[in-house]
């Protein structure tokens, strides 16, 4: 059986332009305050993409997307102003991850694993539909940061909607070097699906490299919001460590010079077309 990839879009999200990107030199709290309170404009609707990896040992889901219930009053905590001022979510019932998998003829228990880049609401809210999955994988550093519900909610997750007693399987940096990454997260025994550490957007953020039959795919989660921003080394506007986030963009550009990749962030409107055409990312020179 070959290794291939498909995209499962779980609705769309609009964010503030200052959420999409801001200067990495501004203090974190000022960056976040501008995105929540100081910006009155919206981006175009951006996809909330998850990715289904077809692998000989069984399918693997990367990220779980947003839940259709996010549109319902009370789903997102009322006291967390970020959810009500900085994001505009639109997910139809047939776009939730449970429905998307059913459309592919896949049940959660059929999945070899669910790999979560990070637990922000638009990447982790679909976990409620995946309680029967055999393995749900999160990095150890990320779970250390998000295991406490109050801090997780302050940082953009909605832990009350995770499966009852949620305890993910933790990924540790025990795998061999890959490009600029000295250690990696083993995901499949054959080494064809490998996690790489890309912290900055949040602690313990995970990206995944898939060595497919037709191309090598880089599943970036929120390491960047789109390919153009990554190429310009411009990070998002609300992360908790902007300088570290920029370092990840530079590492990905370095890796793309060593290994041709199809770059697939979660919210890039161009991902579906790039995936359909296996369009390789050609990085510009690193900026001074």
Q: What tens digit of pLDDT does each residue of 260-278 get?
A: 999 999 999 999 999 999 9
Percent above pLDDT 90 for the chain: 96
Angle CA 51–52–55, to nearest 5: 135
Domain assignment of residue 251, yes or no: yes
Domain assignment of residue 286, yes or no: no
Residues 6+ apart with CB under 8 A from 83: 76, 77, 121
Of the pLDDT bands very low, low, confident and very high (cuts 50, 70, 90), residue 146 is very high
**Model pTM above 0.95:** yes
| Structural domains of the chain, count | 1
Q: Is the pLDDT of residue 229 over 90?
A: yes
Domain assignment of residue 285, yes or no: no
Question: What's the average model confidence in pLDDT over 6-34?
Answer: 96
Domain assignment of residue 284, yes or no: no
Q: Is the pLDDT of residue 167 over 70?
A: yes
Query: Residue 38 sits in a domain of what CATH number?
Result: 3.60.15.10
Give dist(CA 177, CA 28) in Å, integer: 31
Domain assignment of residue 8, yes or no: yes
Of the pLDDT bands very low, low, confident and very high (cuts 50, 70, 90), residue 71 is confident
Angle CA 281–218–233, to nearest 5: 60
Mean pLDDT of the chain: 96
Q: What pLDDT does residue 287 have?
A: 87
Q: Is the pLDDT of residue 189 over 70?
A: yes
Task: Provide the domain limits for residue 187.
Answer: 4-277
Which of 111, 136, 98 lies closest to 10, judged by CA? 98
């Amino acid at each position: 059986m070959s290794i291939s990839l498909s995209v499962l879009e779980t609705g769309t999200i609009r964010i503030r332009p200052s959420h999409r990107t801001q200067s990495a030199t501004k203090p974190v709290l000022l960056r976040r305050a501008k995105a929540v309170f100081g910006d009155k404009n919206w981006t175009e609707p951006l996809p909330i993409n998850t990715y289904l990896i077809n692998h000989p040992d069984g399918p693997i889901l990367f990220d779980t997307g947003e839940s259709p219930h996010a549109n319902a009053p009370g789903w997102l905590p009322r006291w967390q102003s970020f959810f009500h001022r900085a994001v505009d979510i639109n997910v139809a019932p047939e776009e939730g991850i449970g429905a998307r998998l059913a459309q592919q003829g896949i049940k959660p228990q059929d999945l070899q694993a669910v790999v979560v880049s990070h637990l922000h609401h638009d990447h982790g809210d679909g976990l409620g539909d995946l309680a029967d999955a055999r393995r749900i994988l999160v990095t150890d550093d990320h779970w250390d940061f998000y295991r406490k519900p109050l801090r997780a909610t302050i940082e953009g997750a909605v832990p009350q909607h995770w499966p009852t007693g949620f305890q993910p399987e933790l990924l540790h940096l025990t795998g061999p070097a890959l490009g600029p990454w000295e250690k990696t997260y083993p995901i499949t025994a054959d080494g064809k699906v490998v996690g790489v550490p890309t912290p900055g957007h949040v602690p313990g953020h995970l990206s995944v490299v898939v060595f497919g039959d037709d191309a090598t795919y880089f599943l970036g989660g929120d390491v960047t919001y789109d390919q153009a921003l990554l190429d310009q080394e411009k990070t998002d506007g609300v992360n908790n460590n902007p300088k570290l986030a920029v370092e990840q963009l530079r590492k990905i550009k370095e890796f793309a010079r060593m290994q041709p990749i199809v770059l697939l962030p979660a919210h890039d409107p161009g991902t579906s077309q790039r995936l359909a055409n296996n369009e390789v990312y050609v990085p510009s020179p690193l900026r001074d």
